[in-house]
Amino acid sequence: VEFLYCDLASMKSIRQFVQQFRAKNCPLHVLVNNAGVMLVPEKKTEDGFEEHFGLNYLGHFLLTNLLLDTLKQSGTHSHNARIITVSSATHYVGKLHLNDLQSRCSYSPHGAYAQSKLALVLFTYRLQHLLTANGSHVTANVVDPGVVNTELYKHVFWVVKVVKWMTAWLFFK
C-alpha cells in the first residue's frame, strides 16, 4: 500500500496527485470518488470556489477527467474499469442554479450541498452515456450509501447532533 496525498479542494493538489500517479505507470481499475463536506458555513476553496461545489463536485470532476485515459487503458472487454461516485439522496431536493453555481446570490448550506450532489449525479450519468457511446471498457456509477455515521454531521444544528447521538447506533450505518 502506498499513500499519495490529494486535496480535492485544490485544483493544484489534484493535478500534482495525477502527475505523481501517472509517473508510477500503474493501471487504474477502480476510482472511488468519496470525499466531501456537508452543510459547512459559507467558505471558499483556495481556488475561490464555494466549498461544497468546489470539493464535492469540481474536485471529483477534475480528478475523474484527468484519470480517464488511464482508466480506459486499464479496462478490458472482460473486466471493465470502474468509476464509483458517492452522492446522496439529497440530490433529489437539489436545484442546479446554472447562473449561480457558487451560491453567491443567497447562500444556504443545505442548498449548496444538495446542488453539489445533484451535479455529481448528472455528471456521472452523462459520463456513462459518453463511455457507452464510445465503446469504452469503463463504467461510471453513482451511489447513495444511505445514512452513515461519519464526521460529515459536525456542522448540523445542535438538536440534530443530540438526536443523532441518541439514535445513530440504531439507524445509521
What CATH number is associated with residue 47? 3.40.50.720
Domain count, the chain: 1
Number of H helices, E strands in the chain: 5, 3
pTM: 0.80
Band (156; pLDDT cuts 50, 70, 90): low
* In a domain? residue 167: yes
Per-residue pLDDT tens for 80-139? Answer: 999 999 887 776 667 777 787 777 777 887 888 889 999 999 999 999 999 999 999 999
Residues in contact with 131: Cβ distance below 8 Å, sequence separation at least 6, in sequence order:
138, 139, 140
Per-residue pLDDT tens for 1-30? Answer: 889 999 999 999 999 999 999 999 999 999
Residues serving a catalytic function are 113
Kindly report the number of other CB atoms within 10 A of residue 113's CB atom. 27
* In a domain? residue 135: yes
Rg for the chain, CA atoms, rounded:
17
* In a domain? residue 5: no
What is the domain extent for residue 17? Answer: 11-172
Per-residue pLDDT tens for 75-84? Answer: 999 999 999 9
* In a domain? residue 128: yes
* In a domain? residue 38: yes
C-alpha cell at 149: 455515521
Residue 76 to residue 67: CA distance in whole angstroms? 16
Residue 173 to residue 162: CA distance in whole angstroms? 17
